[in-house]
């Protein structure tokens, strides 16, 4: 039996961007575009109606921008994975989006294959950050919040989990990689976020990228 395609909703006020994404997504056998929105209010209505698996969202939209839309979604009973697609003109908006718990950030000039891979990643519970976005975001976060605690405050197992997060793994994938239960992974993620003063796994991935935490103990 074929796997259910990833149902994607686009929220972007530029018709050319939406049209290009529509062609790209519908050409994939494992994806299906189920809706398009030109502003935040329309996006909220369609998300509630269509229940997409992934939202590809621009942050700068008329009527209701991306950040306001994400805040509204967090109050609802349906908060699907969100991939921010941006031209990277406003670092502060990106930081706010990461703090709100978006699952990925991709630049609009990224190769199509990279964008499609990011959609698949966030659909399966992974974090996907464009390297340039990750670097700039981490710089801004450090400037605004001061130095983050050093990684030595983490236990060896928490470091293992952090390395997995740096690779964008989901909790299920981390559990398989480290031969531990998903519940244990959840506990380790919660503990390392608390120790590092971070809000979510996307920020943890940014932290790992900035601190060059390398994969020493994770299985291939």
- Per domain, the residue ranges of the chain are 6-142, 149-210
Query: Domain 149-210 belongs to what architecture?
Result: Orthogonal Bundle (1.10)
Q: What is the pLDDT along the chain (220 residues), one digit of tens a residue?
A: 457 999 999 999 999 999 999 999 999 999 999 999 999 999 999 999 999 999 999 999 999 999 999 999 988 888 899 999 988 766 778 888 888 889 999 988 889 999 999 999 999 988 888 777 776 666 665 555 445 455 558 888 998 999 888 887 888 889 999 999 999 999 999 999 888 888 788 878 777 777 767 554 444 3
What pLDDT, on the 0 to 100 scale, is given for residue 143? Answer: 59
Residues paired with residue 86 on neighbouring β-strands, in sequence order: 107
Both structure tokens of 176: 């398989």
What pLDDT, on the 0 to 100 scale, is given for residue 178? Answer: 92
Contact in structure between 192 and 154 (CB atoms under 8 Å)? yes
Kindly report the pTM of this predicted structure: 0.73
What pLDDT, on the 0 to 100 scale, is given for residue 114? Answer: 92
Buried b (16+ CB within 10 A) or exposed e, 9-46: bbbbbeeebbeebeebbeebeebebbbbbbbbbbbbeb
Phi, then psi, of 99 in degrees rounded to 5: -65, -30
SS (H, E, C) the chain: CCCCCEEEEEECCCHHHHHHHHHHHHCCCCEEEEEEECCHHHHHHHHHHHCCCEEEECCCCCCCCHHHHHHHHHHCCCCCCEEEEECCCCHHHHHHHHHCCCCEEEECCCCHHHHHHHHHHHHCCCCEECHHHHHHHHHHHHHHHCCCCCHHHCCHHHHHHHHHHHCCCCHHHHHHHHCCCHHHHHHHHHHHHHHHCCCCHHHHHHHHHHCCCCCCCCCC
- Which class in CATH covers the domain with range 6-142? alpha beta
Which distant-in-sequence residues (6+ apart) come within 8 Å of 19 by Cβ? none
């Amino acid at each position: 039996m074929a796997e259910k395609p990833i149902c994607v909703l686009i929220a972007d006020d530029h018709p050319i961007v939406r049209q290009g994404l529509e062609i790209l997504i519908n050409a994939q056998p494992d994806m299906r575009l189920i809706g398009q929105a030109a502003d935040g209010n329309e996006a909220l209505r369609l998300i509630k109606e269509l229940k997409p698996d992934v939202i590809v969202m621009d942050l700068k939209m008329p009527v209701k921008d991306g950040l306001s839309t994400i805040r509204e979604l967090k109050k609802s009973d349906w908060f699907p994975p969100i991939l921010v697609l941006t031209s990277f003109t406003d670092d502060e908006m990106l930081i706010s989006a990461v703090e709100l718990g978006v699952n990925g950030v991709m630049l609009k000039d990224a190769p199509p294959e990279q964008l499609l891979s990011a959609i698949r990643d966030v659909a399966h519970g992974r974090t996907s950050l464009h390297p340039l976005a990750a670097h700039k975001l981490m710089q801004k976060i450090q400037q605004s919040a001061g130095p983050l605690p050093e990684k030595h405050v983490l236990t060896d197992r928490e470091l293992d989990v952090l390395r997995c997060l740096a690779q964008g793994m989901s909790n299920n994938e981390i559990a398989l990689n480290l031969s531990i239960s998903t519940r244990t992974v959840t506990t380790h993620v919660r503990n390392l976020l608390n120790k590092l003063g971070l809000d979510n796994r996307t920020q943890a991935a940014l932290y790992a990228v900035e601190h060059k935490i390398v994969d020493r103990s994770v299985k291939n």
